[in-house]
């Protein structure tokens, strides 16, 4: 490293001292902590993104958000050139620089890393980083820290894309690196145009589809998603969407008893919804709009809901795609795969397998599911919590385009031709960079309209097995290691055997534990044939965790 570069780094790093006595770690999807201790981390991640941009000669994204966490938290997510999450190879470096005790140590670590990775810095190299942030009040000053980090690498520039949802920023990074338009209006245009395109391919003579053209009510978690949905909805004339908890002044606090995470975990309606909404199709976004769940309020139930979670969104998508594939193409082998995690309700996995689909499992965290889904021609992934998307391989898209041309000349307007066009429209409607609540919502709505289904009909695809999630505070969550997509505890030894004995006691019993990647806890999941059994199973497994690790 040249002297000039070194002294710029030493000088700027001294303005962002790390918090004392706190270890910061790169979790499932980046860094997250109380916003008051994050400025040194954001500054340092700014440096990291500049190095990554130099190495890949591409634009990198840095998003300031703590997703569904409380408003006083904040965090950082990083978008790699493809628009996906930062490559896992760089996570240890992210961890180590976040915890460097002083500017000298920081420079030492950077120096070692750029040598190992052959990253040329300090010369004429250029780097560009897109910055985004959600609506958290701490976002503005943290953004400044990110800019300082980026500009401390010679030749790197930061482009502030403003207040965005996480998937919008990922989409912009991907688009820029593919050489297409990147403005927010082009994001809205792409998704609203492809929605219209799919709507135009709905057989209108089928009158049943008019049945569900009723209002959709969306809980925006008082965050950035609500605000953006207000804009998107102006462009989608076929839908009537009412946005609540849209983040406007005075409407409520970000993620406080609202949002997809709350709805999915608590299984009750968010604030701002009442008995008057019973039976109506509702959806909920999380704080940075990369998760989506649907629900409806059960009449006379004290705001209890029937949850239509990520597994059911996945099932709706998988069924539709499978149908369109079988109409559009009889002979060409297409690799269609579904990716879930251990949190997927067992009933959803059975349903998908009964459809004849290949279902595979990965550990929790989008980076794992996304990577697996990318191995297929069409890979559909969803976590039960509502994060997911559908990936179409470039190879498949070229094949599909050829097929559409062929059909246009031999059987224009045939069902076969239309089914192929629908698949192409879906590939443009669903965000290819990362799970996106807004784009996912448009696809759900289009498929429901196509099928003429109410949310209740959709929910009947299969019946969820009752489940329960608990968390256990332990001295060191890293004492637990797991294997087989988190379904088996490897360490501490003996714990898995104890869990096995517990779930064997219950019909359809299944339980697993894993260390959280975002909180200092061990998570427990249990499902069984009745709610009481699932509750009891979770409780006894939690007791074992406490006994082994407490
Ligand atoms: C993050 C992950 C999500 C995962 C969750 C698990 C991304 C973009 N988000 O929110 O996929 O389900 O963490 O949290 O990867 P946990 O490790 O605390 O259970
Ligand atoms: Mg989120």
Label residue 237 by pLDDT band (50, 70, 90). Answer: confident
DSSP symbol at 500: H
Collapsing DSSP to helix, strand or coil, 493 comes out as: coil
Are 295 and 305 within 8 A, CB to CB?
yes
What do you get for the CA distance between the two ends of the chain, in Å? 46
Give the closest residue (by CA) to ligand 1 atom 2: 365
291 is in an annotated binding site: no
Please determine, for residue 363, whether its predicted confidence score (pLDDT) is greater than 50.
yes
The whole-chain average pLDDT of the chain stands at: 95
7 is in an annotated binding site: no
Mean predicted confidence (pLDDT) in 300-311: 94
CB of 477 closer than 6 angstroms to any ligand 1 atom:
no
Buried/exposed code over 300-313 (b: 16+ C-beta within 10 A; e: otherwise): eeeeebbbbbbbbb
Please determine, for residue 207, whether its predicted confidence score (pLDDT) is greater than 50.
no
Separation in Å, CA 10 to CA 3, 142, 411: 10, 19, 67
Please determine, for residue 141, whether its predicted confidence score (pLDDT) is greater than 50.
yes
Three-class SS of 168-237: HHHHHHHHHHHCCCCCHHHHHHHHHHHHHHHHHCCCCCCHHHHHHCCCEEEECCCCHHHHHHHHHHCCCC
Task: Return the CATH fold of 311-459.
Answer: Alpha-D-Glucose-1,6-Bisphosphate; Chain A, domain 3 (3.40.120)
Task: Return the CATH fold of 467-549.
Answer: TATA-Binding Protein (3.30.310)
Ligand 2 center–CA 166 separation, angstroms: 7
pLDDT of res. 208 = 52
pLDDT 10s digits, 478-535: 999 999 999 999 999 999 999 999 999 999 999 999 999 888 899 999 999 999 999 9
The count of other CB atoms within 10 Å of the CB of residue 203 is 9
Atom of ligand 1 nearest to the CA of 518: 18
Residue whose tokens read 């879906």: 426
Residue of 185, 159, 141, 167 whose CA lies nearest to 60: 159
Given 12, 39, 67, 284, the catalytic residue: 67
Look at phi and psi of residue 513 and say left if phi exceeds 0, alpha if psi is from -120 to 50, else beta: beta
- Greater pLDDT, 336 or 209: 336
186 noted as active-site residue: no
Give the closest residue (by CA) to ligand 1 atom 5: 365
Please determine, for residue 213, whether its predicted confidence score (pLDDT) is greater than 70.
no
DSSP characters over 63-82: EE--TTS-TTEEEEEEE-TT
Phi, psi angle pair for 107, to nearest 5°: -65, -35
283 is in an annotated binding site: no
pLDDT of res. 520 = 83
Atom of ligand 1 nearest to the CA of 387: 11
Look at phi and psi of residue 452 and say left if phi exceeds 0, alpha if psi is from -120 to 50, else beta: left
Atom of ligand 1 nearest to the CA of 369: 11
Length of the chain counted residue by residue: 550
Residue 307 forms beta bridges with which residues? 295
Separation in Å, CA 491 to CA 236, 307, 362: 51, 34, 19
CB of 166 closer than 6 angstroms to any ligand 1 atom:
no
Pocket test for ligand 1, best of 340, 344, 387, 515 (most atoms within 8 A of CB): 387
Write the class of the CATH domain 190-306: alpha beta
Please determine, for residue 543, whether its predicted confidence score (pLDDT) is greater than 80.
yes
Mean predicted confidence (pLDDT) in 167-190: 97
DSSP characters over 40-53: HHHHHHHHHHHHHH
Label residue 262 by pLDDT band (50, 70, 90). Answer: very high
Non-local CB neighbours of 299 within 8 Å, separated by 6+ positions: 275, 278, 279
pLDDT of res. 31 = 96
pTM of the model as a whole: 0.96
Q: Which CATH number fits domain 3-179: 3.20.20.80, 3.40.50.2300, 3.90.1300.10, 3.40.120.10?
A: 3.40.120.10
pLDDT 10s digits, 46-90: 999 999 999 999 999 999 999 999 999 999 999 999 999 999 999
**CATH topology agreement for domains 3-179 and 311-459:** yes
CA R_g for the chain: 24
Mean predicted confidence (pLDDT) in 189-198: 96
Non-local CB neighbours of 534 within 8 Å, separated by 6+ positions: 465, 466, 467, 468, 506, 526, 527, 528
Domains in the chain: boundaries:
3-179, 190-306, 311-459, 467-549
CB of 365 closer than 6 angstroms to any ligand 1 atom:
yes
CB of 527 closer than 6 angstroms to any ligand 1 atom:
no
């Amino acid at each position: 490293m040249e002297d000039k570069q070194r002294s710029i780094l030493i000088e700027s790093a001294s303005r962002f001292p790390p918090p004392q006595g706190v270890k910061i770690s790169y979790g499932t999807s980046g860094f997250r902590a109380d916003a008051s201790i994050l400025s040194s981390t954001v500054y340092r991640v700014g440096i990291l993104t500049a190095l990554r941009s130099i190495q890949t000669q591409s634009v990198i994204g840095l998003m300031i958000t703590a997703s569904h966490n409380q408003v006083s938290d904040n965090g950082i997510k990083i978008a790699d050139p493809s628009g996906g999450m930062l490559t896992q190879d760089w996570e240890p470096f992210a961890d180590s620089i976040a915890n460097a005790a002083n500017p000298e140590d920081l420079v030492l670590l950077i120096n070692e890393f750029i040598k190992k990775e052959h990253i040329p810095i300090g010369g004429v190299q250029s780097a560009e980083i897109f910055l985004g942030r959600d609506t958290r009040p701490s976002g503005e000053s943290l953004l400044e820290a990110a800019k300082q980090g980026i500009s401390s690498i010679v030749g790197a520039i930061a482009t502030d894309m403003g207040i965005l949802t996480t998937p919008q920023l990922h989409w912009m990074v991907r688009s820029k690196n593919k050489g297409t338009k990147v403005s927010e209006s082009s994001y809205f245009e792409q998704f609203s145009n492809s929605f219209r395109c799919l709507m135009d391919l709905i057989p209108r003579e089928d009158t049943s589809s008019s049945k569900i053209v009723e209002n959709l009510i969306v809980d925006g978690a008082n965050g950035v998603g609500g605000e953006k949905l207000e804009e998107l909805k102006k462009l989608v004339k076929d839908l009537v969407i009412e946005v609540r908890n849209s983040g406007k002044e005075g409407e409520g606090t970000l993620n406080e008893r609202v949002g997809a995470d709350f709805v999915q975990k608590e299984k009750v309606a968010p604030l701002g919804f009442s008995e008057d909404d019973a039976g109506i199709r509702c959806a909920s976004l999380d704080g940075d709009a990369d998760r989506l769940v649907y629900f409806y309020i059960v009449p006379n139930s004290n705001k209890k809901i029937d949850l239509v979670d990520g597994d059911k969104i996945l099932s709706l998508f998988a069924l539709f795609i499978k149908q369109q594939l079988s109409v559009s193409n009889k002979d060409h082998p297409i690799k269609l795969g579904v990716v879930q995690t251990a949190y997927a309700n067992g009933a959803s996995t059975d349903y998908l397998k009964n459809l004849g689909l290949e279902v595979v499992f990965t550990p929790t965290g989008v980076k794992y599911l996304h990577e697996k889904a990318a191995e297929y021609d069409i890979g559909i992934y969803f976590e039960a919590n509502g994060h997911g998307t559908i990936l179409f391989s470039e190879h498949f898209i070229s094949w599909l385009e050829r097929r559409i041309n062929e059909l246009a000349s031999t059987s224009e307007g045939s069902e076969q031709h239309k089914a192929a066009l629908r698949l192409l429209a879906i590939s443009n409607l669903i965000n290819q960079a990362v799970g996106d609540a807004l784009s996912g919502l448009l696809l759900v709505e289009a498929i429901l309209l196509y099928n003429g289904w109410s949310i209740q009909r959709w929910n009947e695809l299969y019946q969820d097995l009752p489940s329960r999630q608990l968390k256990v505070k332990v001295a060191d969550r890293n004492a637990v290691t797991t294997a087989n997509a988190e379904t088996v505890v490897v360490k501490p030894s003996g714990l898995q055997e104890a869990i096995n004995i517990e779930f064997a006691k219950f019909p359809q019993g299944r339980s697993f534990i894993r260390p959280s990647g975002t909180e200092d806890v061990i998570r427990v999941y249990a499902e069984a044939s009745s709610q009481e059994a699932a509750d009891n199973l979770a409780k006894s497994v939690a007791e074992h965790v406490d006994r082994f690790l407490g």
